[in-house]
Structure 1
Amino acid sequence: MNTLAQLRAGELAGITRLDLACGLTEFPREIFDLADSLEILNLSGNALSSLPDDLHRLTRLRIVFCSDNQFTELPACLGQCAALSMIGFRANRIERVPGAALPPLLRWLILTDNCISELPTELGERPLMQKLMLSGNQLQHLPESLKQLHRLELLRLSANRFTELPEWLLALPALTWLAYAGNPLETEADATALDATPSIPWSALHLEQKLGEGASGVIHRATWERTQQPATQVAVKLYKGEMTSDGSPLHEMNACITAGLHPNLIRVEGRIVEHPQAQAGLVMQLIDPSYRNLAGLPSLDSCSRDVYAEDTRFTAAVALRMARGIASAAEHLHQQGITHGDLYAHNILWNEHGDCLLGDFGGASFHATTDTVETRALQRIEVRAFGVLLGELLERIESGLSDADRVALEDLQRRCCQADVLARPGFSEIVRELNNR
């Protein structure tokens, strides 16, 4: 984190990224002294409500973050920034998004947790758009112009006011990760599964070290003590109350429960009750430390693609075991009326044998279990996510894959990612094909 004193003293000359969070109510004009080098400007966590009209003087500016401020309108000056491709204004008070605020090279737009009820037609005239994050607003419909966004891959619509998803949206050729939980259109979670989940009193749990923290909650190692049974080591996830980029943490919890049991899903032991602050939480199986994340989150540059460690390589047997496991888990979820919404390598835990677990249900949404054109399209959107993953695995196989199997798997990968959504195979077919390899 940089300081205002450093900026004013000229100590930051030549930097490419500036991070200022110091209660700013006005844009510091000294930032323009960095115009020759500044590419990333992060002013999140201040009290700003406007940006200067001449922001375009920052000619190298590619990325602007102004989350957790007091904007009521997306600043029109952003649209004049010729190199700007990523804009993040999460958790403001934005009600209006002028078309003029959208720069021509816009690729990634984050407007999560605002008060937006309308989006401009111009949003569909930004052909490079890949990620659009709109959860936690007041939207009832999308501009039909968005059907022109043939590169749009990730779309977050959770916790809005949609009563239906337009047909053209489900036919977008590149749409891969879609979340729409918490809208009137969504099928409810299976009440039977929720009611059948055991209740685990908070007093029976003894929290130990923190294992991790994400946007939706914090995970701790814990000991679970039960009468006349040996103490059990478990993981406890306590959910935060705030809106995340994917949607409501409570929707995530319901999806975890409704998903049920599958060898490639993290097992839920029960729901926490009687927490002193009434915090929602789940008790889950403790994952063996031999498991690790398959990849890292997408970077600012990779946008919608995970970042793998340079040395990540697999044998064919390990890669195919993971592909079969994740395809089988996705098939199971679809049978329960759930789309994962975030089927990504960074949400997969794996070990050297190819055992794997699909986690993080933050982007999960419910749909009808009947076979309709809409449910088929929703499921085939997720098939494209699997196709991306399969391609990433194939790229990293270093041994053991025959030429015939590679040809067959590359053909399967192409069919999963083809532009015609309804022509993609379903997960039942994918599982059958993988089991033949």
Structure 2
Amino acid sequence: MHTLAQLRSGELAGIKRLDLSCGLEEFPEEIFSLADSLEVLNLSGNALRQLPDDLHRLRHLRVLFCSNNRLRELPAGLGQCQQLSMIGFKSNRLQRVPGEALPPQLRWLILTDNELEELPSELGQRPLLQKLMLAGNRLRSLPASLSQCHRLELIRIAENRLSELPQWLLNLPALAWLAYAGNPLETEADASALAATAHIPWAQLQLQQRLGEGASGVIHQALWQPPSAPAREVAVKLYKGPMTSDGSPLHEMNACLSAGSHAQLISVLGRIVDHPQQQAGLVMGLIDRSYRNLADLPSLDSCSRDVYQPDTRFTAEVALNIARGIASAAAHLHQQGITHGDLYGHNTLYNDQGDCLLGDFGAASFHTRAETLETCALQRIEVRAFGILLGELLARIDSGLSATRREVWEELQRQCCQPQVLARPGFNQILAALHQA
């Protein structure tokens, strides 16, 4: 994190990224002294109510983060920033997005946790739009012009006031990751599954080292001492506040509990009760240390695509095991009336043999189990996410894959990613093809 003193002294001349979080109430004019170099500007965690109209003077600006401030309107001046492609205004007080505030190169827009009731039709006139984060607003509809955004791959509309999913949304050719939980349109979780979940008192748990942290919560290793039974090592996930970029953590918990048991899902042992701060949480099986993340989160440059370590390579058999495992988990979830919404390499854990687990239900949503056109479309949207993952695995196979088998894999990958949503195979068909492979 940088300081105002550094900025004003000239110490930061020539930098490409500036991070300032120091209670700012006004935009520091000294930032314009970095116009020849600045590409990423992070002003999150301040008390800003407005930005200057001439922000386009930062002519190289590509990324602007301004989350956790006090703006009520997306600044119109952003639309004149010719290189600006990523905008993040999470957790402000936004009530209006002027069409002129959307820059021509817009690729990634984050407006999570605001007070928006509508969006401008100009949003659909940004052909590069790839990632759209709108969870936690008051939207009752989406602009129909978004049907023109043929590159849109990820959209988060959880925790709004939508009564239906528009048909054009379900037909978007590139859409792969969709989260819509917490809207009136969503089917409720299975109450019987939730009621049958064991309650584990907080007093029976002893937290140990922290294992990881995501958008929705923190995971600790813990010791669970049930009454009249031996103590056992478990994992405890304690959920954070009311809203993440994907939606409500409580919806994530309901999806985890409703998913049921499957070999490629992390087992849920029970939900925590009697936490002293009434914090929601789950007790889960402890994952063997041999498992690791398949990929890293998307970067600012990759946008909606995972980042793999340069040395990540697989044999054909390991890659096939991973593909089969994830397809099997997704098929199981769809049978339970759940779409995962975030089927990605970074949410996949695997070991050297290709045994794998699909985690992180933060973007999960419920749908009817009846075979309607909408249900089929929702499931086939997720098939495209699997097709992308399959392509990433295929690109990293270094041995054991003959030319004939590669052609079979590549054809399956093409079928999963084809632009006609309903023409994609379902996961049962995918599993059959993978077993033949």
Task: Tell me which interval the TM-score lies in, with the shorter structure as reference length.
Answer: over 0.9
1:39 Cα deviation after fit: 0.2
Q: Which runs of 4+ in 1 moved over 6 A?
A: none
Partners of 1:283 and 1:226 in 2: CA distance: 12
Aligned to 2:322: 322
1:6-85 correspondence runs (5 A): 6-85=6-85
Moved more, 225-234 or 321-330: 225-234
1:227 Cα deviation after fit: 2.3
1:20-419 correspondence runs (5 A): 20-419=20-419
1:401 Cα deviation after fit: 1.0
1:403 Cα deviation after fit: 1.5
**Aligned partner of 1:300: which letter?**
L
Give structure 2 stretches of 5+ with no counterpart: none
**Aligned partner of 2:275: which letter?**
H
**Aligned partner of 1:388: which letter?**
I
SS at match of 1:226: coil
1:226 Cα deviation after fit: 1.5
Partners of 1:207 and 1:41 in 2: CA distance: 38
Partners of 2:435 and 2:69 in 1: CA distance: 51
1:402 Cα deviation after fit: 1.7
Partners of 2:89 and 2:242 in 1: CA distance: 16
Q: TM-score, normalised by structure 2?
A: 1.00
**Aligned partner of 2:403: which letter?**
D
Moved more, 238-247 or 65-74: 238-247
- Percent identity, please: 73
SS at match of 1:385: helix
1:274 Cα deviation after fit: 1.0
1:228 Cα deviation after fit: 2.5
1:214 Cα deviation after fit: 1.0
Partners of 1:41 and 1:203 in 2: CA distance: 45
Partners of 2:377 and 2:265 in 1: CA distance: 23
Partners of 1:435 and 1:403 in 2: CA distance: 18
**Aligned partner of 1:320: which letter?**
L
RMSD (Å) for aligned C-alpha atoms:
0.5
**Aligned partner of 1:141: which letter?**
S
SS at match of 2:209: strand
Partners of 2:5 and 2:180 in 1: CA distance: 43
1:241 Cα deviation after fit: 2.0
Partners of 1:6 and 1:397 in 2: CA distance: 47
Partners of 2:279 and 2:174 in 1: CA distance: 38
1:33 Cα deviation after fit: 0.4
SS at match of 2:409: helix
SS at match of 2:231: strand
Q: TM-score, normalised by structure 1?
A: 1.00
**Aligned partner of 1:57: which letter?**
R
**Aligned partner of 1:85: which letter?**
S
